[in-house]
Amino acid sequence: MSLHDKSLTQLRDGIQQGDFSSREVTEHFLARIKKHDAQLNSFISVTEERALQQADAADQARQKNQGGVLNGVPIAHKDIFCTRGIRTSCASRMLDNFISPYDATVVDKLGNAGIVTLGKTNMDEFAMGSSNETSFYGPVKNPWDLERVPGGSSGGSAAAVAARLAPAATGTDTGGSIRQPAALCGITGLKPTYGTVSRWGMIAFASSLDQAGPMARSAEDCALLLQNMVGHDEKDSTCLNRAVDNYLSDLGNDINGLTIGLPEEFFPADLNGNIADVTRKAIAELEKQGAKVVSISLPSVKLSVPTYYVIAPAEASSNLSRFDGVRYGYRCEDPSDLMDLYKRSRSEGFGDEVKRRILVGTYALSHGYYDAYYLKAQKVRRLIRDDFARAFEKVDVIAGPTSPELAFGLGAKKDDPITMYMADVFTIAVNLAGLPALSMPGGFIDGLPVGVQLIGNYFREGQILNAAHRFQLATDWHTQAPTFAGDI
């Protein structure tokens, strides 16, 4: 088995046992990136020199019986996480020249666990999008079909993991940005309960929704990565102070008696019949292993897309006001005065989708409209949360498709924002409620992967990871690789 076919867990074990060195593994993935990423565009920056230094340090640590639990394992970070001394662009012209003076807490924690950073992955600009087409650095291609999108906003991370250019990657999910690209690229990705992972050093989009999480090939690898990302951080006031769960030990449980709720709203009449079939088949596999399936209803979930598109832009308009051409990033040439500097730096530095969000958000927060839009949206958000709370009195896990459609063609929705926003129709409610959820590969239609979403109650990451792990022990969808990648 080539190194790139090994899972994160297998690579970790192999390095620990001395079957291969971190340097060998790191060089192997760097070579794959060099060979294949010109086609995919999944990386914005490849940090070869630093990666090899980190790999050598990991190999030395091992010789001395030191090193963290992920010692020497290479991964990639979404370019939304600040990385000291390395460009952190958020895929925006605004931050094209921004070299962060510090590491995000997630980067720091994973670094302490011993990981090697291969580079920074491409994404939608400021994480706004569902197709990775809003990136200043150009779209990412789906490794299953280079004419299609990988999903977004963590499209670079998803494509890189699917194409075996990295064994795993970090992502962020504000409305679906880990789960939807994971679904469209055939990998496993988890958005944790809001507040479980520190947001410090993660460039803010919508602060009450943003959450970082792992993207990998299997639930087991996601659990391993997540274990090393979570924990209280005094630098993020919304990061929860509670004992850290042991996700890996949860993977030993069976799912006998697990109750899975299927919301009728996640299987609408106009849902692609093949996607519904694949989803139901995946759930039937869990049933075979002892899970019980019941029908439920989440009546307010149909309001989640419009609710999100008031709250997220409102928070974004406030968060993005810091990019003014003075404090960070892009500054226009020869400003005539201060007003001109602000105006032109922001007009030239931000792309169209980001500007659209700033305009909508500023409007929704403005005097006279705040009550009608923002406050109203917050009230609906509570109704959505309450729907889930009621459902979780009866069920342990809620399941359905992750995405209403397969990976779509590049350019197919680019000029139609509303259609693009509907790509997250099954994922957004989870963010509004702050719940944990994952997407796992459930099958293929016409050679394209289909994702199945499992939603858990608060802090039940271990339970949904275990359900996905049980599924993956019995199936091999998650081990399929796109053929274009070839072998080196």
51 versus 311: smaller Cβ distance to ligand GLN? 311
In the complex, least distance from residue 77 CB atom to ligand GLN, rounded to whole angstroms: 15
Distance between CA atoms of residues 129 and 162, nearest Å: 20
Distance between CA atoms of residues 455 and 470, nearest Å: 15
176 binds ligand GLN (CB under 6 A): yes
Q: Which of 83, 105, 142, 174 binds ligand GLN (CB under 6 A)?
A: 174
424 binds ligand GLN (CB under 6 A): yes
463 binds ligand GLN (CB under 6 A): no
116 versus 423: smaller Cβ distance to ligand GLN? 423
292 versus 355: smaller Cβ distance to ligand GLN? 355
The verdict on whether 336 is a catalytic residue reads no
| Interface with ligand GLN in residues 91-110 (CB under 6 A) | none
| Interface with ligand GLN in residues 187-246 (CB under 6 A) | 205
- 22, 45, 177, 439: the catalytic one is 177
47 versus 453: smaller Cβ distance to ligand GLN? 453
127 binds ligand GLN (CB under 6 A): yes
The verdict on whether 22 is a catalytic residue reads no
The verdict on whether 78 is a catalytic residue reads yes
- 6, 78, 109, 141: the catalytic one is 78
Q: Which of 76, 128, 161, 183 binds ligand GLN (CB under 6 A)?
A: 128
| Contact window for ligand GLN (CB under 6 A) among 2-10, 99-107, 170-178, 321-329 | 170-178
| Contact window for ligand GLN (CB under 6 A) among 29-37, 140-148, 169-177, 240-248 | 169-177
125 binds ligand GLN (CB under 6 A): no
Binding mask 135-164 for ligand GLN (x = CB under 6 A): ------------------x-----------
| Interface with ligand GLN in residues 301-320 (CB under 6 A) | 312
| Contact window for ligand GLN (CB under 6 A) among 63-71, 86-94, 128-136, 473-481 | 128-136
Name the site residues for ligand GLN (rule: CB under 6 A).
127-130, 153, 173-177, 205, 312, 424
Task: List the catalytic residues.
Answer: 78, 153, 177
